[in-house]
Amino acid sequence: MITSAQNPKLKLARSLTGRPKERLEARAFVVEGVRLVEEALAANWPTRFVLYTAGLSERGMELIEKLKKKSVEVDELSEAALQTISETETSQGILAVLELPNTELRIDESLNFVLILDSIRDPGNLGTLLRTAAAAGVQAVFLSPETTDAFAPKVLRAGMGAHFRLPIHSLTWEQIQAAMKSLKVYLADTQGSPCWETDFRLPVALIVGGEAEGATEKARSLANLAVSIPMPGKSESLNAGVAGGILLFEVVRQRQSPLR
């Protein structure tokens, strides 16, 4: 059993919960909780090791046995040791150190539904947008340089496993522009055309801007058209996660029931 806070595995896991630089250098990230580890296992995600405590739930212990059968390295640790790295107030008693995905972008001409996130800095909003994108069938998410790290612990928790089902690329604006050759780019904006009257049946990329100041000038210059969400209640704006969800599922609605 691991009990020392100086154990190399604990030290690595602890470092990965911090700055993006640490995750990039180690090419790894941490997920915590039974569901996220289950999602990683179901996706056959490359796993370095898993740590758990004796107080793990029955469902969690069944997961440990499945991991062992997959020849994943598994170690038990003390509750005190876990508390030195846990990012949650009440830990479920399990975490995994996983490999960061290869983010090399190959332009795929078959892409017809892309989400571009510009300056999304709130981890909860970013995780919600990724979770919603996965549910809507988005084929890829492109993150601008101004957007927070998608593999930060709070983003992973809010994403609820979306990271294992959705290609996520952190790109420069030049790379994003190069990938837009066959797509029509729509920018979510309060001054845009009503989304209900916009044809999303074509191959599209949807840009959702930041919570405070909206989209950057680079995002605006990339867009072919701005679209808005009609708000009869006269609110000035919506939370980025909510606005993105409405627009993503408007794309889904139109493609299932084309506009006449």
Query: Where would I find the beta strands (DSSP E) of 197-243?
Result: 204-208, 225-228
| pLDDT above 80: residue 236 | no
pLDDT bin (cut points 50, 70, 90) of residue 84 is: confident
Domains of the chain with bracketed CATH: 8-99 (3.30.1330.30), 113-256 (3.40.1280.10)
User: The whole model's pTM is what?
Assistant: 0.92
Q: For all residues of the chain together, what is the average pLDDT? A: 92
Average confidence (pLDDT) over 11-17: 94
Average confidence (pLDDT) over 128-142: 97
| pLDDT above 90: residue 2 | no
Q: Which of 27, 52, 151, 47 is nearest to 98 (CA)?
A: 47
Residues 149-194 pLDDT 10s:
999 999 999 999 999 999 999 999 999 999 998 899 999 998 899 9
Q: Which of 90, 10, 83, 22 is nearest to 48 (CA)?
A: 10
Contact predicate 220/187, CB 8 Å: yes
**What is the torsional sign of CA 137, 142, 146, 151?**
positive
Contact predicate 135/163, CB 8 Å: no
Q: Provide, rounded to the nearest whole percent, the portion of the chain with pLDDT above 90.
A: 77
Residues 193-218 pLDDT 10s:
999 999 999 999 999 998 777 789 99
Residues 26-39 pLDDT 10s:
999 999 999 999 99
| 81/147 Cα distance (integer angstroms) | 32
Q: Is 137 left (phi over 0), alpha (psi -120 to 50) or beta?
A: left
Average confidence (pLDDT) over 6-15: 92
Contact predicate 224/184, CB 8 Å: yes
